[in-house]
Amino acid sequence: METLTAIQKQYLEQPKERISGSEAIVRCLLAEGVDILYGYPGGAIMPVYDELYKYEDKINHVLTRHEQCAAHAAQGYARISGKVGVAMATSGPGATNLVTGIADAQIDSTPIVCITGQVPSHLLGSDAFQETDIVGISTPVTKWNHQVTKASQIPEIIARAFYIAKSGRPGPVLIDITKDAQFEEFDFQYKKCTGVRSYVPVPKTDDSSVTAAAELINSAKKPLIIWGQGIILSKAELELKALVEKAGIPAAWTIMGASALPTSHPLNIGMVGMHGNYAPNVLTNDCDVLIAIGMRFDDRVTGKLDEYATQAKIVHFEIDPAEVDKNIQTDVAVLGDAKQSLLQLLPQINTNSHPEWLQRFKDLYEIEYDKVIKNDLHPTKEGLTMGEVLKEINIQTKGEAAIVSDVGQHQMIACRYADFNVTKSNITSGGLGTMGFALPAAIGAKMAAPEREVVAVIGDGGYQMTIQELGTIFQNKVPVKIVVLNNEFLGMVRQWQQLFFEKRYASTEMVNPNFVAIAQGYYIEAKKVTKREDLASAVKEMIDSDAPYFLEVCVEKEGNVFPMVPSGASVSDIRLE
Amino acid sequence: MTTEKQLYTVSVYTENNIGLLNRISAIFQRRHINIESLNISVSEIEGVSRFTILINMSEDQIKKIIGQIEKQVEVIKAYYHTDDDTIYQESCLFKIKSDLLFEERQIQNIIKESNAHIVTVNKEFFVLEKSGRRAELETLHKALSVFGIMQFVRSARIAVTKDELKISEMLNAFKN
């Protein structure tokens, strides 16, 4: 059970009081424990902003510079804290600008609640100024959405929104509220939602499926665990560690699962997928039992489906029944919450170790080290690599920073080389691959966890998609550290052009502005590094700073990310060069 | 699991909510699945709607679709059935010139033999209604079309299952 704050108690289940719909919205948020929300005002949401002004001592509304970034900031907030992030926007363009963030939260199972203003109900469907059918538009990318046209519906619908966003497999919820409902007065009272009759957030775990899973795991000679974000979402980090150690099973992670088990753990054998590590990809097609926990066999993980782990028995621990047998046919599916399922499984697991099998991962790691890692982390060539920047960040932050990455080459390098010694430390746009995600998400993450070091690692392309959020960082004094790895290319697309389109670099070369001057224009301390000998001190200076800090590192222009599973290839056909 | 395509009747019990049709149809649209017919009506339970969707696909596909439908928050339960598992019907209306009813003796025989019934007759036209299996409706349509049909419309399939669907139990379980 969550513990309620004093403010929450002040607004939960109080005697009825006649207030406006807009004041009710703010009180609902307070009752749900919202301390920060991100948004942008406009005509159809103005009554709510008027109330936020009155309640500003209790709730901090952060003005982003674009609504998309309000959604991403809410995502960053949710990903690092496990709490529901909140974004607010006006009708029409305000609402449509949220959609990218909502879609990102949907595919990455991030709990956010978006509240949008809407034209007065008598104008609905009349093509009024800034009217858009945001409920229709957001339907395919929300876990749930709803339009409110009467003030009296507000408490129940908002309670339901928070419940649905957070429970089961989390996701985004959008609530659209007409302006007349915001003005209307009614007798307000707030009760938390505890259930929706048509909705089963966590399916019942079948005891016999747990036993069957335990039998397969105990009998395995070459078992492999692949865990995903489900571990983090269900707070099952310790249970995963216990399973891995008790059964002595090498464990790999999907990009969304990163940081649930520390990088330094001897049984953590790295990342699976397109740019994952060599050993877990190759040996996916050699293991005898594949234990998937809280992951969904995304195509970037599996490569060619009909050549994926065909030799193995598949055990799938999963909260969402629709994910079972969706891409990979399972032998044993254990439905339910990962933490509860693992707790049930652990006593049935025999203490074991697989030294010879583990050695094969170590041998393949040596190959990857020689061919790839050595050159990424300890380059002998002149140009700086992205990998060595990550290595410096690891040193300066002791591997305890939350790394917020954008999308592309730098993202893959960040996920491959960052030391993740603390859970909830890899905040990135996994499923949707949203360039521009990192800077606003870092704002949300830092504000939700001010005690943590938050380092945004961004490419020069993605950075310019949401660069205006430097304004939000400056105005709110959010001490995020921003590292732009500048190769003057849209690097990942350029890499594909090099490998698969005979180096026809169509629209991937970037002529960039003076990034340092731009940061300084927002009064953010900024530095540019072009030489290896300046890198360590610059990263140290950045981490030592208590203020927001911008560091541009000019890296090798045509560096590639390897290993790589080319699209359409089998995971065991992963290329090292 | 079978990958052979066949007709399935999907029955979906849902909360009665604006927007749910959009949510459910999007599931089919995204995957380029053609809906053969779609009917939404009240169900045996007050406040609960029932979608009846007819689709031609393989069983392994339909299982995934059912998973996606049930994942929607306001869907209570979704089922798929083959024709053998259900009692199903469609109905149709024919609008035909009244003159023909008196001039063409054959039409009266067709009406009698097909168990169709006349809904209304006036000076200009009469309306014929027929419920049954698709093939019966098509046979009637073919027989009448030689005389000329002013308007024709056929409904979606509606179906009840031979086996019990324990929706009420599920909803009662939530209350307790």
What's A126's domain CATH number? 3.40.50.970
Distances (CA, A) of A75 to A111, A295, A540, B101: 7, 19, 28, 69
Number of Cβ within a 10 Å radius of residue A468: 15
- In this structure, the answer to whether residues B49 and B9 fall within a common structural domain is yes
In a domain? residue B163: no
In a domain? residue A572: no
- The letter for the amino acid at A238 is L
In a domain? residue B17: yes
> What is this structure's pTM?
0.97
CATH code for position B111: 3.30.70.1150
Omega of the bond prior to A563 within 30 degrees of 0, cis?
yes
pLDDT tens for A563-575 read 999 999 999 999 9
- In this structure, the answer to whether residues A389 and A350 fall within a common structural domain is no
- In this structure, the answer to whether residues A55 and A128 fall within a common structural domain is yes
* A196–chain B nearest CA distance, Å: 8
In a domain? residue B173: no
- The letter for the amino acid at A41 is P
* Facing residue for A321 by CB, picked from B67, B76, B174: B67
Nearest Cα to Cα of residue A555 among A512, A519, A518, A525: A512
- In this structure, the answer to whether residues A247 and A100 fall within a common structural domain is no
Cβ–Cβ under 8 Å, residues A445 and A402 = yes
pLDDT tens for B39-91 read 999 999 999 999 999 999 999 999 999 999 999 999 999 999 999 999 999 99
- In this structure, the answer to whether residues A356 and A386 fall within a common structural domain is no
- In this structure, the answer to whether residues B17 and B48 fall within a common structural domain is yes
- Across the interface, whether the CB atoms of B73 and A322 are under 8 A apart is answered no
Nearest Cα to Cα of residue B72 among A207, A322, A51: A322
Per-residue HEC secondary structure of A522-546 comes to CCCEEEEECCHHHHHHHHHHHHHCC
Cβ–Cβ under 8 Å, residues A482 and A550 = yes
- In this structure, the answer to whether residues A230 and A103 fall within a common structural domain is no
**What are residue A403's DSSP bridge partners?**
A426, A455
Expressed as residue numbers, the domain containing A320 is 207-361
* Facing residue for A198 by CB, picked from B14, B63, B67: B14
In a domain? residue A338: yes
DSSP per-residue string spanning A246-302: HHT--EEE-GGGTTSS-TT-TTEEEE-STTS-HHHHHHHTT-SEEEEES----HHHH
| Residue of B16, B71, B172 to mutate, testing the A interface (most A Cβ within 10 Å of its Cβ) | B71
Task: Please tell me if residue B14 touches chain A, with a CB cutoff of 8 Å.
Answer: yes
Question: Residue B166: which pLDDT band, with cuts at 50, 70 and 90?
Answer: confident
The nearest alpha carbon in chain B to A199 belongs to B73
- Across the interface, whether the CB atoms of B67 and A326 are under 8 A apart is answered yes
Number of Cβ within a 10 Å radius of residue A197: 15
SS3 content of chain A, % helix, strand, coil (to 5): 45, 20, 40
CB-based contacts of A530, cutoff 8 Å, min separation 6: A384, A554
E strand or H helix at A31: helix A21-31
DSSP per-residue string spanning A417-435: H----SSS-EEE--SS--T
pLDDT tens for A367-398 read 999 999 999 999 999 999 999 999 999 999 99
DSSP designation for A347: G
- In this structure, the answer to whether residues B26 and B77 fall within a common structural domain is yes
Question: Residue B1: which pLDDT band, with cuts at 50, 70 and 90?
Answer: low
Question: Residue A2: which pLDDT band, with cuts at 50, 70 and 90?
Answer: confident
- In this structure, the answer to whether residues A273 and A167 fall within a common structural domain is no
The nearest alpha carbon in chain A to B76 belongs to A198
Quick one: residue A204, left, alpha or beta (phi over 0 = left, psi -120 to 50 = alpha)?
beta
Chain B residue numbers with beta carbons less than 8 Å from the beta carbon of A199 are 73-74
Q: Is B2 a residue whose pLDDT tops 80?
A: no
pLDDT tens for A501-538 read 999 999 999 999 999 999 999 999 999 999 999 999 99
- In this structure, the answer to whether residues B115 and B152 fall within a common structural domain is yes
- In this structure, the answer to whether residues A357 and A428 fall within a common structural domain is no
Nearest Cα to Cα of residue A118 among A153, A143, A78: A153
- In this structure, the answer to whether residues B99 and B123 fall within a common structural domain is yes
pLDDT tens for A98-157 read 999 999 999 999 999 999 999 999 999 999 999 999 999 999 999 999 999 999 999 999
In whole angstroms, give the CA distance from residue A498 to residue A502: 6
Cβ–Cβ under 8 Å, residues A349 and A289 = no
In whole angstroms, give the CA distance from residue A186 to residue A155: 11
- In this structure, the answer to whether residues B24 and B76 fall within a common structural domain is yes
In a domain? residue B172: no
Structural domains in chain A (count): 3
Expressed as residue numbers, the domain containing B122 is 88-158
More confident residue, B129 or A2: B129
- In this structure, the answer to whether residues B14 and B44 fall within a common structural domain is yes
Angle at A564 between CA A560 and CA A569, to 5 degrees: 140
> Per DSSP, which regions of A90-156 are E strands?
112-118, 144-148
Angle at A538 between CA A482 and CA A515, to 5 degrees: 45
- In this structure, the answer to whether residues B77 and B12 fall within a common structural domain is yes
Task: Please tell me if residue B102 touches chain A, with a CB cutoff of 8 Å.
Answer: no
Per-residue HEC secondary structure of A236-260 comes to CHHHHHHHHHHHCCCEEECHHHCCC
Q: Is A1 a residue whose pLDDT tops 60?
A: no
Nearest Cα to Cα of residue A130 among A40, A214, A58: A40
For residue B80, what pLDDT is reported?
97
In a domain? residue B164: no
For residue A313, what pLDDT is reported?
98
In whole angstroms, give the CA distance from residue A388 to residue A559: 13
- The letter for the amino acid at A88 is M
In a domain? residue B119: yes
Structural domains in chain B (count): 2
CATH code for position A343: 3.40.50.1220
pLDDT tens for B110-153 read 999 999 999 999 999 999 999 999 999 999 999 999 999 999 99
In whole angstroms, give the CA distance from residue A311 to residue A313: 7
- In this structure, the answer to whether residues B96 and B140 fall within a common structural domain is yes
Last residue of a domain, one of A157, A188, A219: A188
Helices of type H across A32-108: 46-54, 67-81, 93-107
In whole angstroms, give the CA distance from residue A431 to residue A412: 13
In whole angstroms, give the CA distance from residue B19 to residue A146: 8
* A138–chain B nearest CA distance, Å: 10
- The letter for the amino acid at B78 is A
In whole angstroms, give the CA distance from residue A444 to residue A438: 10
- In this structure, the answer to whether residues A419 and A328 fall within a common structural domain is no
For residue B176, what pLDDT is reported?
63
Nearest Cα to Cα of residue A276 among A242, A305, A302, A247: A302
Cβ–Cβ under 8 Å, residues B3 and B20 = no
**With 0-12 CB in 10 A as exposed, 13-18 as middle and 19+ as buried, what is A505?**
middle
Length in residues, chain A = 577
In a domain? residue A463: yes
In a domain? residue B121: yes
Q: Is A215 a residue whose pLDDT tops 70?
A: yes
For residue B104, what pLDDT is reported?
86
In whole angstroms, give the CA distance from residue A41 to residue A49: 7
In a domain? residue A432: yes
Map residue B93 onto helix, strand or coil. Answer: strand
Distances (CA, A) of A239 to A184, A209, A250, A352: 49, 18, 15, 16
Last residue of a domain, one of B24, B55, B81: B81
Q: List residues of A with catalytic annotation.
A: 67, 129-130, 179, 492
In whole angstroms, give the CA distance from residue A185 to residue A253: 51
In a domain? residue A356: yes
Residue A167 phi, psi (nearest 5): -85, 160
- Across the interface, whether the CB atoms of A197 and B22 are under 8 A apart is answered no
In whole angstroms, give the CA distance from residue A154 to residue A147: 10
- In this structure, the answer to whether residues B103 and B77 fall within a common structural domain is no
Question: Residue A174: which pLDDT band, with cuts at 50, 70 and 90?
Answer: very high
* A275–chain B nearest CA distance, Å: 28
Task: Please tell me if residue B75 touches chain A, with a CB cutoff of 8 Å.
Answer: yes
In whole angstroms, give the CA distance from residue A174 to residue A165: 9
Length in residues, chain B = 176
- In this structure, the answer to whether residues A52 and A105 fall within a common structural domain is yes
| Residue of B20, B70, B71, B73 to mutate, testing the A interface (most A Cβ within 10 Å of its Cβ) | B73
In a domain? residue A575: no
In whole angstroms, give the CA distance from residue B76 to residue B74: 6
In a domain? residue B29: yes
In whole angstroms, give the CA distance from residue A274 to residue A574: 8
In whole angstroms, give the CA distance from residue B167 to residue B9: 17
- In this structure, the answer to whether residues A16 and A80 fall within a common structural domain is yes
Number of Cβ within a 10 Å radius of residue B110: 17
For residue B172, what pLDDT is reported?
85
- Across the interface, whether the CB atoms of B71 and A196 are under 8 A apart is answered no
Question: Residue A184: which pLDDT band, with cuts at 50, 70 and 90?
Answer: very high
pLDDT tens for A253-306 read 999 999 999 999 999 999 999 999 999 999 999 999 999 999 999 999 999 999
Residue A123 phi, psi (nearest 5): -100, -5
Cβ–Cβ under 8 Å, residues A127 and B10 = no
- In this structure, the answer to whether residues B103 and B148 fall within a common structural domain is yes
- In this structure, the answer to whether residues A465 and A550 fall within a common structural domain is yes
DSSP designation for A369: I
- In this structure, the answer to whether residues B95 and B76 fall within a common structural domain is no
Q: Is B17 a residue whose pLDDT tops 90?
A: no
* A153–chain B nearest CA distance, Å: 14
In whole angstroms, give the CA distance from residue A539 to residue B144: 84
- In this structure, the answer to whether residues A336 and A424 fall within a common structural domain is no
In a domain? residue A291: yes
Mean pLDDT of chain B: 94
Mean pLDDT of chain A: 97
Question: Torsion angle of alpha carbons A227, A231, A237, A238, nearest 10°?
Answer: -90
